[in-house]
Amino acid sequence: MTGLAGLAGLAAGPASPLPIHAIRPAGLEAFLASRLPQDAAFLRAQHFTAADGSLHLLPGGEGVGSAVFGLGDGNSLHAFGALPKALPAGSVWRIETTGPDYDNATLGFLLGAYGFERLKSRSRLPAQLLASDVSPRVLAIAEAICFARDLINTPPNHLGPAQLADAAIALADAFDAKSQRVYGPALAARFPALHEVGSGSERPPEAIIFSWTSKNASPSAPLISLCGKGVCFDTGGYDLKPGAAMLRMKKDMGGAAVLLGLARVIMSLDLNLHLQVRIGCVENSISGHAMRPSDVIETHAGITVEIGNTDAEGRLVLCDLLAEAAAEKPDILIDAATLTGAARAALGPDLPALFSNNDALANDILAAGETVQDPLWRLPLWPGYNSWLDSNVADINNVSAKPFAGAIVAALFLKRFVPDSISWAHIDLYAWNDQARPGRPEGGEAQTLRALLFVLENRALRGDKEVSI
C-alpha cells in the first residue's frame, strides 16, 4: 500500500557529492576560462555549447570528478529532471548554481529521480542529491508530488476504495488531523449519489473527511476546502467503456491523489490555514446492484438527478462532497477530478481545464501556474448551456443529450451544488504523462499541485479573506 515513503533521488547518509555545473550559453566562455586547461579542451573538443540537456562527465582523481550540464536559454525546472537517470547509478551530486533557480534545479532533479518500481523484482537506483542540500520547502513539495504519483500509478487490484481511504487516513494521522471514515448505511444517508456510484462494485465505497489547523494559525487564517474524485477504477458502468479506454482508468482517482498531495504539503509546511479535505473513494463497476441509465438518484443537496450516462459518475461523487463542503462556508473551495475526455480534446494532456465562479480566484490560479511552470487554462461556466442538463423526470440530468462542450456541461452540473457566495474552483485534469520527459516520467502526474500551493501559500502569508496573489 502506498505510504509516506522517502524520495529515490535523496541521499540521507554522509557522502562527498560531486559537482554538477549548470551552464547557460551566455556563461559558457567564462566557465571554460575558470576550468583546468585540460577540462576546457575536452569540452571544446566535444563541441559542448551548453545546449539544453547536454551532459558531459569530466574525469577526477578516482574516476568521474564532475559533470557539466547545459541549460540552453530556457528556464524549465524540468530540465534537471533528466539528470538522475543520466548520471551514474547511485552516485551523489551537488548542483552548483545560485539564486532562485537553485530550488527549481533541486526540485526538478528529485522529480526526475522518481520511478514507480515497488512491484518490480529489480529496480535501478538513480543518481542522488544530499538531503542537506535541499530546502525544506522543496523537499515537502517533492514528497507530496511523488506521494500523489504513487497513488495514481498503483494498479487497481492494489488500490481499491478501502486502500485509497487507508492512504487518506494515514496522511491525516501523520499530521494529527481529525478524520472521519464514512461507509455503509451512513454513507448512503450522507452522500447518496456517491454511494450509488459505488453500488455496483464488490469493493464498497467510502468517503474520507479530515480537518487540520496550523499550530500557529492566526485569527484571520482562511478556511480552505478540498474535494477530490477518487474513482479507483472506472469501467463506465452499464455504459461500458471500450477496452482501450479502460487501460488508464486506474488514474481516475487522480483528482483525489493531487488534492491529498496538496494537503500533505500544506500540513508539512504548517501553512497559516484551516484545512478541510473530502475524498470520495469508489469504484464504478457493473453488477445487478449497479445504477442504470434512466435511474433517478438523490444527492446530499436534495437535488434529484436522472442518470443519462453511468460513465458520467465523477460529477456524482463530487456533487455530494461539494454540497457538504459549501455548507461550511469556506473562503476557498477547490475540487479536482479526471472528469471529462472533452477537456483533453479541447486542451490536450498538459493543460488542465480551470472553471471558477470567482474571477479573482481564477486569475490567481492562472498566474500561479505561469509563475511555477504548472499551467492551467480557463474555460467558461457558460450559462447558455444550463438548459442542456434539463430532465423530464428529475431536477437535472447528469449529462447533456448534445455532443458538445462536455467539460463545460460537467462544470455547470457541479456549479448547481455550490452557492454563488462561495469562491469555487473546479479543475478538470488528466493526471498522467503519456510519455517520459525530463522530470515527468510516464505515468501518474500531480498536475496543478504546485500552482494551487503557490496561491494558498500567499493566502496563508497574508491570512486575510481577499482572493489575490
Q: Which residues belong to the active site?
A: 241, 315
The closest alpha carbon to 226, from 150, 168, 311, 300, belongs to: 168
**Residue with cell string 494515514:** 170
SS3 393: coil
SS3 percent helix, strand, coil of the chain, rounded to 5, is 40, 20, 40
SS3 77: helix
In order, the DSSP letters of 400-429 are -SSSS-HHHHHHHHHHTTS-TTS-EEEEE-
- For the chain, the farthest-separated pair of C-alpha atoms sits apart, in whole angstroms, at 82
Q: Give the full edge-to-edge strand order of the sheet including 206-213.
A: 178-183, 206-213, 274-284, 223-234, 332-337, 424-428, 353-356, 377-378
Radius of gyration of the chain (CA): 24
Residues in the chain: 469
CB 265 within 8 A of CB 348: no
* b/e per residue 51-82 (b: at least 16 CB within 10 A): ebebeebbeeeeeeebbbbbbbeeeebbbbbb
The closest alpha carbon to 146, from 97, 109, 102, belongs to: 109
CB atoms inside a 10 Å sphere around CB 375: 18
Q: Running DSSP on this structure, what letter comes out for residue 333?
A: E
- The sign of the CA dihedral 270, 271, 277, 279 is negative
Which residues make Cβ contacts (< 8 Å) with residue 64, sequence separation at least 6? 18, 57, 58, 88, 91
| Residue 362: alpha-carbon gap to chain centroid | 18
Cβ burial, residue 149 (10 Å; 0-12/13-18/19+): buried
Beta strands per DSSP E along 324-370: 332-337, 353-356
As given in the structure block, the three cell numbers for residue 62 are 578516482
Give the CB-side neighbour count of residue 140, counting CA atoms within 13 A: 15
Torsion angle (degrees, nearest 10) of CA 170, 173, 175, 178: 130
